[in-house]
Amino acid sequence: MLGRLGRWFIDYVKGIFYALGFFFKVIKASMPFFRGRQIGKKVLTMQILFTGFEALNIIALIAMALGAVIIIQGVSLLPQFGQGELTFPILITIITRELGPLLCAFIIIARSGTAIATELGHNVVSHEIEAYIASGIDPISYLAAPRFLGVTLSILLLNLYFNFFGLIGSFFITQLIEPVQATDYFRKLLSYLRLEDIASSTLKSLTFGIIISLSSLYYGFKVEQASTEVPQMVIKAVGASFVFSIIADAVITLIYYTR
Amino acid sequence: MKFHIRFADQVVGFFVLIAIVSLLLIVIFMGINQRWFAKDYYFTSKFLSGNGLSVGMPIKLKGFKIGSIDEIALTTDNTVEARFHIFDTYYEKVTKNSVLELTVSPIGIGGSGMQFYPGKSRELIPDNSFIPSLDFEEGQELVSKGLVNKPPADDTIVKIINQIGPLLDNSNKTLISLKSVLKTVDDSLNGHSDGPAGDIVGRLSMLTKQLNTLMDDASGQINSILSDTSGITSNIEATSSQLTDTTGLVTKLLDPKGSIARLLDDNLELYSQITDILSSVELTTTELNTFTRYINSSRPQISSLLESSREALQKGKDVLEALSNNPLLRGGISSSKEQPTTFKGYREEDF
């Protein structure tokens, strides 16, 4: 009993160190992309295309709907309490600081995190990884690094688009239901929007991107032999991405409000 | 091959470019709107409390934002020092004798803010100067001297609050008067007052005591009467119950088999006897009537006879007296006054 517990603990610690080593290797392999040595440039482009561009429609739809709901509720409800000006701080808090990055992360986990873990898992099962190694191609540099950068950049860009559609696009939706004067709306919006809001939002999406991509890559490569391991690892990748994203969100929010 | 996959590089480039350009545009517009590059003029002021004060709080002049609070700190003398800036576009309003006023809504929402009232002087206050607030005497003095361009309060809540103060004072005074009146009334009711009310209450108290004594006396009598009444009532009740009793006295009297019924049921014998008795009584009455008439007609003779008898008796008395008063025997007959007769016969009357 004691021996089993000891073995489990040693394996657990080893696993943590293995994961940390893997994350370090992926980040190290990603550095050449910034120095112009682009082995997997096409993989990176395709990853941004699949993860970022193809998710744009759903992100735009959710952002505009959410923004429109907040504006309509705020414009119709808050002035009754003499707090009409609070519409914009609420809109910025929800769209830019809190819900925007988190919703983008959830969408990327569902769309791309699962796809990356599945693809890499099947690569392992079909011995493609061994083939890359045999051909002298580092699978981390060719497969992991572009995906890591692609997912992280995509979340950053999607978060910008989410803000763009949530703050500006929702204005046009609102015009159809409850017209608001454009100059007044944008003037107030820009006066309430702070650089700290943008920085917090960017930091969150960057952190979520790193978490999602690394979790998906880690669990994708963790598949060993059987194809039945793939869905198990995908589930673990999704679970880890959700949990670590929410924890990171809470920590960043805490830092933002206690600074 | 799909368009976006065929032109993946261009699509991704466009995708990234638009995001970056949008971000840049937003940041630029933010900078313009938030006056990142404009020159601001900084000032300090002091307040009694930090309640309602916050960093970023707008400073308003007639509803227009002309600046905002940058920093607030508690000083060693327990006042609150606020550092704020005024936009360069409104710097010309910051003239000598300007003051600040912190208005805090008592209901917590709305109505709070920092108001700036420019001085009536044309001389501008230099950067990093001190501007007094209305929390301190310095600012209040400037207003009282009429050196500040301070419009009357236009905030409805402030107006209401200003009206509530005198109302509360009046209410307080009324309550004090009411308390005094209540004390006087209380004293009067306790009979401690020298006034007419106290006198009345005292008398009323005495009367009440007397009434209580009377009531105690009357109570005994009333109890006696009540006990008698109770006896009478019980008798009446007994009689009533006998009357209502189906086996009672009335029923017995009316019983066809009872003694009365049997007495009466004698083929009119009793009736005939009563009729005979009544006839005898009537005959006797008739005879008595006749006798009375006779007596009445004989009354003068009887009266005369009685008068003669009386005279005879008087004479007999005189004789006897004379015999008793005879000198030979005793002292003779004493003289006496003759008493006239009270009744005269018809023949002696004058016609």
The percent of residues in chain B predicted with pLDDT above 90, rounded, is 17
Would you call B231 exposed, middle or buried from its count of C-beta atoms within 10 A (0-12, 13-18, 19+)? Answer: exposed
B110 to chain A nearest CA, in Å? 6
Q: Which of A30-39, A87-96, A234-243, B27-36 has the lowest mean pLDDT?
A: A30-39
Which two structure tokens, joined as six digits, stand for A15?
């696993």
- Is residue B197 scored above 80 in pLDDT? no
* pLDDT at residue number B18: 93
DSSP 3-state of B124 = strand
Q: Please judge whether B109 and A81 are an interchain contact, meaning their C-beta atoms are less than 8 angstroms apart.
A: yes
DSSP B2: -
| Mean local confidence (pLDDT), A85-109 | 91
Count CB neighbours of B350 within 10 A.
Answer: 4
Portion 13-42 of B in contact with A at CB < 8 A: 15-16, 19, 22-23, 26-27, 29-30, 32-34
The percent of residues in chain A predicted with pLDDT above 90, rounded, is 58
Q: Please judge whether A49 and B5 are an interchain contact, meaning their C-beta atoms are less than 8 angstroms apart.
A: yes
B8 to chain A nearest CA, in Å? 7
| Mean local confidence (pLDDT), A205-213 | 95
Would you call B4 exposed, middle or buried from its count of C-beta atoms within 10 A (0-12, 13-18, 19+)? Answer: middle
CB contacts of B32 in chain A (<8 Å) are 190
Residue among B97, B89, B101 nearest B130 (CA): B97
Which two structure tokens, joined as six digits, stand for B282?
């009537």
pLDDT digits (tens, 9 = 90+) for B293-330: 888 888 888 888 888 888 889 888 888 877 777 766 65
A48 touches chain B (CB under 8 A): yes
Q: Please judge whether B109 and A187 are an interchain contact, meaning their C-beta atoms are less than 8 angstroms apart.
A: no
Q: Please judge whether B19 and A157 are an interchain contact, meaning their C-beta atoms are less than 8 angstroms apart.
A: yes
ipTM for the complex shown: 0.86
- Is residue A102 scored above 90 in pLDDT? yes
Residue B73: partners with Cβ closer than 8 Å, 6 or more residues away: B80, B81
A100 touches chain B (CB under 8 A): no
Q: How many helices (H) and strands (E) does chain B have?
A: 8, 7
Q: Please judge whether B27 and A195 are an interchain contact, meaning their C-beta atoms are less than 8 angstroms apart.
A: yes
- Is residue A234 scored above 90 in pLDDT? yes
Helix (H) or strand (E) segment spanning residue B72: strand B64-74
Distance CA A202, CA B23 (A): 11
Which two structure tokens, joined as six digits, stand for B11?
């699509």
Q: What is the mean pLDDT of chain B?
A: 81
A72 touches chain B (CB under 8 A): no
DSSP B59: E
Portion 261-300 of B in contact with A at CB < 8 A: none
Q: Between the CA of residue B69 and those of A174, B57, B73, B255, what are the distances in Å?
A: 33, 5, 11, 120
B109 touches chain A (CB under 8 A): yes
CB contacts of B22 in chain A (<8 Å) are 160-161, 164
List residues bridging with B64 in a β-sheet. B61
Q: Where are chain A's structural domains?
A: 2-258
Confidence of residue B331 (pLDDT cuts 50, 70, 90): low
Residue B110: partners with Cβ closer than 8 Å, 6 or more residues away: A81, A82, A83, B157
Query: Which of the given ranges, A16-25, B99-108, B111-120, has the highest pLDDT on average?
Result: A16-25
* pLDDT at residue number B333: 57
The percent of residues in chain B predicted with pLDDT above 70, rounded, is 81
B28 to chain A nearest CA, in Å? 10
CB contacts of A82 in chain B (<8 Å) are 109-110
- Is residue B220 scored above 60 in pLDDT? yes
Q: State the amino acid at position A89 in one-letter form.
A: P
Q: Which of A160-164, B61-65, B203-207, B212-216 has the lowest mean pLDDT?
A: B203-207
Tell me the count of A-B CB pairs closer than 8 A. Answer: 58
Q: Please judge whether B109 and A82 are an interchain contact, meaning their C-beta atoms are less than 8 angstroms apart.
A: yes
Residue A236: partners with Cβ closer than 8 Å, 6 or more residues away: A219, A222
